[in-house]
Amino acid sequence: MRFIGFGCGTNKTTELDFSMSASSNYIVIDQGTSSTKAFLFDSQGRVNHTSKIKHSLSKPEPFHVECDSQTILNACIKLFHDMITAADGQLIAGAGMAVQRSTFLFWDKKTLEPLTPALSWQDSRAHGIVDEFSQHQEWIWDITGTPLSGHFGGPKFLYMIRNNKHLAKKIKSNEVIFGPLSAYLTHALTGKAAIDESIAGRSQFFNLKTRSWSPDCLDLFEVPVSALPKLVTTGYDFGNVLNTKIPLRFVMGDQQAALIGQAGLKPGSMASNFGTSASIQYNTGAEPNIVPGLISSVLFSDDRQRLNMVEGTINSGNSIFYHLEKVLDIEHHNMHWDQRCSDHSTSGIFVPGFSGLAAPYWSGGFDDIYWELDKRDHNAVIRAAMESIGFLVYDIIRSLEPIIKSKPAKLTASGGGARDSLLQFIADLVRVPVEHSAMRDRTAYGVYRLLNPDQDYSAFESDKIFFPSKNNADKKIKQWHAAIASIL
């Protein structure tokens, strides 16, 4: 069998033998902001092989943040090849992908050529459209479960067609697809352009209650249905990958996968994940809940069931430290933010504005705020930046209180940014224990759990538990809210 990409820009072919074997394997692609990872799981949930390709963002103007979709596609193709090679002839029963969600682009329907850069979830260039449509905020949130924000698909679509007449003309002639990065990758890897429900919520067109495109939202953002990928469930026959016999069976949002990977399929489960961005997720069960300040979306769906979640997103996870490397002129290998934060304290507050604030404030990009903070003291700034992540976690959990009724007994945490200093600070603020995942790559594991549902899964296992300590958290929370009030 030969590898043939759909419009992937490669003419490489490989003869493959997919003979049956006693053990099944599963390929999972975890496509994130700063890298794409691939995993080869066996039928017992062990990772037999993994590989990663890093990629970068470009920032051509303030609040413009872009990535190269072709580069990411090529990474996915190479990693998929790598996993098949690692399987060494054993059966690969299926594949799944977890993908960053609010990154959108336009591509040609026939050639699959990207017609624009992929506008990252960090991109907030459409803030002017958000201001223009501010009177529509309430009904958009009620229909879609998402706040009106330049981070999502609708404002990005309208901004791009208003500023690119050639693109607008192509849309009118039905030559173009607009969708999230996941739909572009799916189209290129399988030949099917499809957007799953967990990521469709980031479009600002998806009616969370009817599970269909909202005519009112499409009209507002001037989006023809013909320009959108097919709307499907997260568990779906997306087609075989690169003309192999390996079916792509699940495509879903990375944060949804992270919750599932932390034993979050049970309604009432709560988890946190800290990567380039961060997220607090709460499984609300079969019925969606609209919570002020937070995002409501599909957690998982197939032809038999549907689970929903409420989420608080934090734009500035690890990205805040990448940002400060440039602002403070610190070489990446000298940042060591966790060590700096463990060894230093600060009485000041840092409010990250470089990519705007997401939940629960939803403010577009602005200049970073140094509140009672000396910018010359690099360690104090880095500590205050780390604390800003914890304050946002605190605010998100407070926003969840109307539907969870009381504090959770604990908070589980995963992701590369779930470092000791941050988790201890969160425990001190929220006043509940925070448990760090003993397993790395919970996002990939969440996809695997869906690919192999017959496996007996254990409960969440932690390698560290951070207990609340006596501190001056109340004072610092008041400082944080005073700093936030200065921009709202």
Residue extents of the structural domains in the chain: 24-252
Q: What is the pLDDT of residue 6?
A: 42
Q: Which residues of the chain have pLDDT under 70?
A: 1-22
29 near 37, Cβ under 8 Å?
yes
150, two tokens: 């330049």
Q: What is the pLDDT of residue 154?
A: 98
Residue 116's Cβ-count burial label (10 Å; 0-12, 13-18, 19+) is middle
Q: What is the pLDDT of residue 378?
A: 96
User: Directed axis angle between helix 378-404 and helix 319-327, to 10°?
Assistant: 150
**CA 291 to CA 312: how far, in whole Å?**
10
Q: What top-level class would CATH report for the domain 24-252?
A: alpha beta
Q: What is the pLDDT of residues 406-436, one digit of tens each?
A: 788 899 999 999 999 999 999 999 999 999 9
Is residue 486 helix, strand or coil?
coil
Q: What is the pLDDT of residue 488?
A: 81
| Percentage of residues in the chain having pLDDT higher than 90 | 87
Q: What is the pLDDT of residue 146?
A: 96
**CA 448 to CA 50: how far, in whole Å?**
13
